[in-house]
Chains A and B, each alone.
Chain A
Amino acid sequence: MAPQNLKVEVISEGTVIDHIPRGNWLKVVEILGLTESNSGTLLIASNVPSKKLGRKDIVKIEGRHLTEEEVNKIALIAPKATVNIVEDYRIVEKFTVEVPDFVEGILRCPNPRCVSNHEAVSPKFHVVSRDPLKLRCHYCERTVEGDDILKNL
Chain B
Amino acid sequence: MDKTDWIGRDVVSMRDFSKEDIEFVLDVAEALEDELGKKGSLDYARGKILATLFYEPSTRTRLSFESAMHRLGGSVIGFSSASSSSVKKGESLADTIRTVERYSDVIVLRHPLDGAARLAAEVASVPVINAGDGSNQHPTQTLLDLYTIRRAFGRIDGLTIGLLGDLKYGRTVHSLAEALAFYDVELYLISPEILRMPRHIVEELREMGVEVHESTNLEETVPKLDLLYVTRIQRERFPDEEEYMKVRGSYQVNAAVLRNAKESLKVMHPLPRVDEIHPEVDGTGHALYFDQVFSGIPVRMALLGLTLGVL
Chain A interfacial positions (CB closer than 8 Å to B)? 111, 113-116, 118-121, 137-143
Contacts and interface: CB of A to CB of B under 8 A. Distances in A.
Nearest to A123: B115
Given A138-B118, A139-B115, A119 B134 contact: no
Contact of A141 (B15, B92, B119, B200): B15
Which of A114, A115, A139 has the largest number of chain B CB atoms within 10 A? A115
Contact of A113 (B13, B15, B114): B114
Nearest to B93: A119
Interface residues of B, number: 19
Nearest to A109: B115
B45 interface: no
B29 interface: no
Which of B115, B135, B136 has the largest number of chain A CB atoms within 10 A? B115
B116 interface: yes
15 contacts: A113-B112, A113-B113, A113-B114, A115-B116, A119-B93, A119-B119, A120-B92, A138-B118, A139-B118, A139-B119, A140-B113, A140-B136, A141-B114, A141-B115, A141-B137
Q: Which 4 A-B pairs have the closest CB atoms?
A: A139-B115, A140-B114, A140-B115, A115-B115
A115 B111 CA distance: 10
B7 interface: no
Contacts of A119: 92-94, 119
Interface in B119-158: 119, 133-137
Given A111-B114, A115-B93, A140-B134, A121 B119 contact: yes
A120 B94 contact: yes
Contacts of A114: 113-115
Nearest to B120: A115
Contacts of A137: 115
Nearest to B200: A143
A46 B134 CA distance: 43
Contacts of A140: 113-115, 133-134, 136
Majority secondary structure of chain A interface residues (helix, strand, loop or mixed):
loop
A118 B94 CA distance: 11
Nearest to A136: B15
B134 A113 contact: yes
A64 B116 CA distance: 41
B10 to A, nearest CB: 13
A143 B92 CA distance: 25
Contact of B13 (A120, A121, A141, A143): A141
A123 B24 CA distance: 32
Given A119-B92, A141-B13, A113 B119 contact: no
A115 B116 CA distance: 5
Contacts of B115: 114-116, 137-141
A15 B112 CA distance: 46
Nearest to A120: B92
Interface in B82-121: 92-94, 111-116, 118-119
A115 B13 contact: no
A142 B92 contact: no
Contacts of B118: 115, 138-139
A114 B118 CA distance: 11
Contacts of A115: 93, 111, 113-116, 118-119, 133
Contacts of A143: 200
Contacts of B135: 113
A141 B94 contact: no
Nearest to B135: A113
Nearest to A126: B15
A121 B94 contact: yes
Contacts of A141: 13, 15, 114-115, 136-137
